Amino acid sequence: MSVVLMRVFGFITLVIILLSGFTIQVNAQISHVPIFNGDDAYDFLLGQVSFGPRPPGSANLTLCNLYIQDTLGSFGWNVTLQNFTYKETLCTNIIATWNSSTNATILLGAHYDTRPEASADPDPLNRTKPILGANDGGSGTAVLMELAHILPASVRSKVELMFFDAEDSGGIDGWDWIQGSTYYVSVLNTSRRESIRAMVLVDMVGDSDLTIPREGSSTTSLQNAIWSIASQMGYGDTFLDTTGATITDDHRPFLDAGIPAVDLIQYPFPDSWHTLADTPDKCSAESLEIVGRVLETFVVEQVAGNVTFPLDTQYLFYAALIIVPLIFITVVYIRRKK
């Protein structure tokens, strides 16, 4: 290969690298000072667990639903219920908006149901028993409840809090996963879908040894924004800048609808996952506080900056617009040199 040709291909390679770097959103230095309280969030986790296991359709989940509603209402949020039936079971999503606002552009979600069976328990005799779900169900919900408490009033009208039912019963009695979020997205009209800038899912974020890598299917630009904030706040040991697994979770229906979405979830899953050991003693206020403070800062900074988050497919489109002409120019150049 000639020196000139090598330089041309080197230039194309450099452009591709720069384009890859372009997808990494570089945030300005954060200025918000978070006040999210991990101890308060842990109390919300204990409040849920006090009702016992909370599988879809159970009396325990109904009581937990009322607890979440009452708590959100006490913080001034407008709470509505989104009822749907799945497998002859009445399920309910809890939706919280500020002053009945329909202008929320940032959605924060978690599931508040728990798995009906401890299918991963090491003791086969326990595998048909319901789990307590302190981490898997309780932790994400607790983070959202504390955010409802402490988010500045100036940003609340741009935020919608979503507590999904029927997320965690997949593979049991013919149930599929993520039914609450699937239903939520199915009833969104086109204009509402297009108005949503970001959906952030919080799931299994309470483990005392918490690590959150980048979930494999989440929107890269949205991950970049959150991971940048976590890094600036000194939480790089929790928000790992590595790619984990691709997980079926409540962010998936939003991605499928063309809405930028990210899943904040521990991976590998903790040993207590889907076992009777998923109890509060495995969780910590510190882990909840780390995640909560990052999300609090993310919401405040993004609302102030009115930032948008391109979907990954959009990056490929823009990259193609530049790379394809470069390849064409290279081919023409080679032919002329011949």
- DSSP-derived secondary structure for 58-72: -HHHHHHHHHHHHHH
In the chain, the percentage of residues whose pLDDT exceeds 90 is: 81
pLDDT score of 306? 84
179 and 272 in one domain? yes
Q: Give the CATH number for residue 252.
A: 3.40.630.10
DSSP assignments along 301-326, one per residue: HHHHHT-----HHHHHHHHHHHHHHH
Residue 255 in tokens: 């991605």
The per-residue pLDDT for 329 is: 61
Same domain, 113 and 92: yes
Judge if 56 and 131 occupy the same domain.
Answer: yes
178 and 114 inside one domain: yes
pLDDT at 1 over 70: no
Q: Is the dihedral of CA 75, 77, 80, 86 positive or negative?
A: negative
Distance CA 321, CA 63 (A): 54
Q: Verify that 40 and 18 share a domain, yes or no.
A: no
Q: pLDDT per residue over 304-333, tens digit each? A: 888 899 999 744 444 444 555 655 565 555
Q: Which residue matches tokens 């041309």?
A: 8
**Average pLDDT, stretch 179-195?**
97
State whether 291 and 331 are in the same domain. no
Q: Predicted confidence band at 9 (pLDDT cuts at 50, 70, 90)?
A: very low
Does the reported pTM lie above 0.75? yes
What's residue 15's pLDDT? 43
pLDDT of residue 17: 39
CA–CA separation, 191 and 186 (whole Å): 13
Q: Give mean pLDDT, residues 98-104.
A: 82
| Whether residue 8 is found in the same domain as residue 149 | no
Domain span at residue 154 reads: 32-309
Contact 202, 109 (CB under 8 A): yes
251 lies in the same domain as 267: yes
- Same domain, residue pair 331 and 236: no
Report yes or no: 221 and 310 within 8 Å, Cβ to Cβ.
yes
pLDDT of residue 113: 99
Distance CA 75, CA 184 (A): 24
Same domain? For 139 and 255 the reply is: yes
- DSSP 3-state of 81: strand
Q: Is the domain of 215 the same as that of 259?
A: yes
What pLDDT is stored for residue 242 in this prediction? 98
Please say if the pLDDT value at position 18 is more than 50. no
Average pLDDT, the chain: 89
pLDDT in tens, 249-270: 999 999 999 999 999 999 999 9
pLDDT at 28: 67
pLDDT confidence of residue 304 = 82
Report pLDDT for 20: 42
267 close to 215: Cβ distance less than 8 angstroms = yes
pLDDT tens column, 207-249 = 999 999 999 999 999 999 999 999 999 999 999 999 999 999 9
Q: Which residues pair with 111 in a beta bridge?
A: 164
What is the rounded distance in angstroms from the CA atom of residue 248 to the CA atom of residue 252? Answer: 7
Q: What is the pLDDT of residues 48-89, one digit of tens each?
A: 999 999 999 999 999 999 999 999 999 999 999 999 999 999
How far, in whole angstroms, is CA 104 from its chain's centroid? Answer: 16
Per-residue pLDDT, 325? 60
Q: Are residues 337 and 222 in the same domain?
A: no
- Give me the number of domains the chain comprises: 2
